[in-house]
Structure formats: C-alpha cells, structure tokens
Amino acid sequence: MAQKITIEPVTRVEGHGKVTIHLDDNHQVTESRLHIVEFRGFERFVCGRPFWEAPVLVQRLCGICPVSHHLAAAKAMDMLVGAGDGNGLTPVAEKMRRLMHYGQIFQSHVLHFFHLASPDLLFGMDADPERRNVIGVILEHPDLAKQAVLMRKYGQEIIAATAGKKIHGTGAVPGGINKNLSLEDRDAFLNGINGNPDLSADKMIEWSEAALALLLDYHSSHTDFLDGFATFPSNHLSLVRPDGALDLYHGVIRAVDPEGKRIVNDVDSRDYLDVVEEEVRSWSYMKFPYIKKLGPKEGWYRVGPLARLNVCDFIPSPKAQAAFEQFRAYTKGKPNHMSMHYHWARLIETLHAAEMMKELLLDPDLQGTNLVTKGERCGEGIGLLEAPRGTLFHHYRVNEQDLITMCNLIVSTTNNNEPMNRAVNAAAVAQMTGKAEITEPMMNAVEVAIRAYDPCLSCATHAMGQMPLEVTLYDAAGAVVDQQRKGM
C-alpha cells in the first residue's frame, strides 16, 4: 500500500515546516516535499505606510536576522531618497551599517551552527533526541557552549551599539544612519565588553578559528557522511563585490552553474528582475525562484554560505581567505555541491565576519558625524543584501505622497526553496528507501538536511496562526491511515 508520511513540525527550525514523504508499495520513496504552510502578508501590509517606516517594519519578518531585512529595506530607501545604490552614503553611514551587518552575520551563524546544527554533529543524527539538543551540548561540552553564548552575545552587542537595540533597532534610516559609534563602545569591543577579555574582537577571531577547526576535525572522521549527505549538483547565486570579492553588504549579482561557469555575470542589483523570476506551486505558500533565462526546470539555484563561497573569487580578510583556499581546493576549484558543507562555508564566513568587525572597529570613520545624505527623490527603490542564509531582495514603489504602493520581497529561504526540497528528498531516499518502519532518527535526517540551509522558515512566507503538531499517514487513495500529534 502506498503511503504518505507527514513529519510535523520540523524541529529546531524557527517557524513551522511540514514534510511529506511519499512511499510506494515497496516502501521506496517516490517524492518528498517541504511544505511551507505559514503565511504572513508583509508585502501587503507595508503598502500604504510611509516609506521611512519600511526598514523598521519589515525586520519583524524574522527573529533571527532582523538586521538583514532592516538593512535591505534601508538600502532600497537610499535609492528612493537619492542617496545612491549602495555607494552614495557617507563613510560613517556605510561603515556603521557594515559593522551592524557583520555583527548580525556573526551572531546568526554562531546561533545556526552551535545552537541548531551542532547537536546533530556532536552526538550523531541517531542519538537520543533527549541528548541531541542545545542543552545536551551545554551539559557535555560546556566550554564550547560557553564560547557559543559569548560569541553570540558579542554579535548582539555590536548590533545594539549600531542599531540601538539587540533586536529590532532603528539604526539605518533612508540615506544613512542615526548615530555613530562612541569611543567608549569602540574600546569596549576591541578590548572586551565590560572589561571581560573573553568578549573582545581578538577572542572572536580566535574562537571562530577554533570552531572551524572543530568542524574540519569532525569532517576528517565523518567524511562520507558530510560529503555524501543530501549532495546534488545545482547552480549557485550570490552578490559579489565588482572585483569578485565576497561582500555581504553590497555587490553585483553573479551565478555559476554546477561546473562553475558563469550564468549570471555581475548584473547590477537594480536589474534583479532581469535575472530572477518566481514560480508558484499549489502545495506551498512559498514561491520558487529561478534564473529567468534558464527557466524553472534548469534555473533553480542555491544561496547562502555555500553558494557565496562557490561564486566569489576571494575573501578580503586574511584568515578567512586561507580557509577559503582550503575549501576551494577540496573540490579542486569547482563548485561544492555538498549540502552539509554549508556548515563549513558558514564557519569560514563567521571567521570573516570576526575579522571584518575588528577591521571596522579600528577605522576612525566610525566616529564621523556626517550621518545622512540625500539627493533627488525617485519613486522606486531596490535593495539587495547577503543575509546570513542567502541573498535577500527588497523592492518598493512609492507614490508622490511618500506612501508605499508596491513591495516585493524575495527572502533567503525562498531562494533556497527548491534546493531544500531536493535536500529533503535526497535525505529521504537515503534513509528511508526499503524500510518498513519510520524511526525518529530517519525523520531527524530530513530535518538535518533542512537545517544545513536554514533554521528559519517563517520569514519566507510572511505566518498566520500556529501549525498543529501532527504526523499523518495517508494511503494511496489519500485516506488517513494514521495520525499522531506532538506538543498539542
């Protein structure tokens, strides 16, 4: 009898996901789907609001990386107020925003790796779920857990100092920023917050290197798992600096095919609509973007840390560059298609963010006083940014009275929708084919595949209401043969 197994909810993912795995009569996986069933009408409810509210309003899309939405919207507003497209800000404004963004990348990557992904690696995917969680990490690896907490705190404090608050600040305003960095704050970040040397810029670099070393060590003993789990060829897309450097705050759009050939060649971010298009499928609220000229079948792509390192030519900070060279050499310079290597790429970026934070803190421009620029006002603003989990597109139109009339958001998770579905399917095929019984570790394998990309699904669908926590089994005719509820 053909069955459909529903895993609900996907745990350690912010927001609610639902996975259905379709088995045929012989328990072979025929198809798997990641359904994003939440819906949040952000694109609609910013309409009618004055444009200067947008950077503050849209960051409620996400609890993990609000700063990314804040900055992407602010970049779009820069265009609206005639402050250029990522290049018209004063040095203090641009660098304060970059510092805010690197603080965000740093804390989010640390959260993603240590809090959400590391339990699977430290304890193994088939470990007891009672142990395989962040509390387990704290109990069995207390030093690591402490480092993770302090690293995250450091990033959050950087955000607070630049955006005004740790979550949902208002630092970026159309055309600039509303404050500079005080000398006291700068000294605290360089030497240690509240005099604690464990909370200093150098410590963040040191611990980022240690985290990367931990992963590489794990890789050496679990090579087959990390290299083989949910691996499939794909295109990769990200922003890069015009000279090809990794740049998480601003750049041109570049994409490569599975062989590394450029398929989108450094397109101005304002022309994103020439590059991507979105497809709607009946079973998910989340759209499926693809590279326009390749069409939906061939044009889907990955974004995020793995994609960024596959797309860029180099990383403009020395320690991360050295790690990048090692990463690139592993696949002989070709794009890396191993889903679990998202974590490797993520930790290289964590190191880069730590290096960038220090570099920016040492820059006296951050104490400048020229905070805002304005030029000729126009009616349309587009802001692209590399958020922790991938490229973020924000696009707005405003009327003559300054009210928003159109908003289009393509968030990182949406960009990764097709790859996440493929990763889920790859994990399901590997774990469940030929098995008669669905075990918890099998279900977790599917979640591990999702978590490599994203711990956060709610932002992508913008959520109304709570998903019931249930596991449902359907037969070929679509009748429910079993149903279990969790956490209800």
Partner 1 sequence: MSETIATASETITLTIDGQEIQAKAGQTILQAAQKNGIYIPTLCALHATKENGLKTDIAPGTCRICTVKVNGRTMAACTTPVAQDFIVENDTEELNDLRKTIVELLFVEGNHFCPSCEKSGSCDLQALAYRYQMLSPRFRYAFSSREVNAESPKLLFDRNRCILCRRCVLAITTEDGKQLFGFTKRGDKSGIIMDEELVKNISEEQAQQAMHICPVGAIIRKEKGFDTPFGQRKYDHNPIGSETVCTTCNGEKS
CB of 377 to partner 1, least distance (A): 8
Which of the residues 376 through 405 are near partner 1 (CB under 8 A)? 401-403
Question: Residue for token digits 């974590």?
Answer: 343
* Pairing, β 301-302 against β 235-240: parallel
| 15 lies in the site for partner 1, by CB under 8 A | no
Q: Which residues of 416-454 are buried (b: 16+ CB within 10 A; e: fewer)?
A: bbbbbbbbbbbbbebbbeeeeebeebbbbbbbbbbbbbb
Question: If DSSP codes are grouped into helix, strand and coil, which group holds residue 115?
Answer: helix
Residue 381, token pair as written in the block: 């603003």
- In whole angstroms, the minimum distance from the beta carbon of 466 to partner 1 comes to 17
3-state secondary structure 327-341: HHHHCCCCCCCECCH
CA distance 210 to 203: 10
Site residue total, partner 1 (CB under 8 A): 23
Residue 57 lies near partner 1 (rule: CB under 8 A)? yes
Residue 178 binds to partner 1 (criterion: CB under 8 A)? yes
If residue 423 lies in a helix (H) or strand (E), which one and from where to where? Answer: helix 417-432
Residues 79-98 that bind partner 1 (CB under 8 A): 81
Binding status of residue 56 toward partner 1 by CB under 8 A:
yes
CA distance 185 to 194: 10
Give the residue carrying structure tokens 């969680």: 133
Helices and strands, number each (H, E), in the chain = 19, 16
Q: How far is CA 143 from CA 138, 148, 151, 192, in A?
A: 8, 9, 12, 18
Binding residue for partner 1, selected from 27, 49, 131, 222, defined by CB under 8 A: 49
- Our CB check for partner 1 shows the closer of 172 and 199 to be 172
Cα dihedral 235, 239, 242, 248 sign: negative
Of 24-32, 45-53, 243-251, 455-463, which segment contacts partner 1 by CB under 8 A? Answer: 45-53
Sequence-ordered alpha helix ranges (H) in 197-287: 201-221, 223-228, 272-275
Rank residues 51 and 290 by Cβ distance to partner 1 and give the closer one.
Answer: 51
Answer for which of 41, 48, 242, 468 binds partner 1 (CB under 8 A) is 48
Figure out which of the listed residues 30, 41, 50, 482 binds partner 1, where binding follows CB under 8 A: 50
Rounded to the nearest 5°, which phi and psi values hold at 19? -115, 130
Q: Restricting to residues 149-168, name those near partner 1 by CB under 8 A.
A: 164-165, 168
Q: Which is nearer to partner 1, 57 or 275 (CB)?
A: 57
| Segment near partner 1 (CB under 8 A); pick from 44-52, 113-121, 247-255, 451-459 | 44-52
**In whole angstroms, how close is the CB of 163 to partner 1 at the nearest point?**
8
61 interacts with partner 1 by CB under 8 A: no
Least Å from the CB of residue 393 to partner 1: 21
* CB of 48 vs partner 1, minimal distance in Å: 6
Q: Does 369 bind partner 1 (CB under 8 A)?
A: no
Nearer to partner 1, 115 or 166 (CB): 166
Radius of gyration of the chain (CA): 22
Say if CB 170 and CB 164 are below 8 A apart.
Answer: yes
Nearer to partner 1, 233 or 375 (CB): 375
Q: Does 170 bind partner 1 (CB under 8 A)?
A: yes
The residue with tokens 């320690």 is 319
Q: Which residues contact 463 (CB under 8 A, 6 or more apart)?
A: 15, 16, 38, 39, 40
With CB under 8 A as the contact rule, the residue among 27, 153, 179, 292 that binds partner 1 is 179
Q: What tokens does 471 get?
A: 């596991």
Q: Determine the interface stretch with partner 1 among 46-54, 240-248, 291-299, 443-451 (rule: CB under 8 A).
A: 46-54
Site for partner 1 (CB under 8 A): which residue of 43, 53, 126, 279? Answer: 53
Per DSSP, 205 falls in state H
Q: Which residue has the tokens 């931990």?
A: 214
Supply the minimum distance, in Å, between the C-beta of residue 178 and partner 1. 5
Binding site for partner 1 (CB under 8 A): 48-50, 52-53, 55-57, 60, 81, 164-165, 168-171, 173-174, 178-179, 401-403
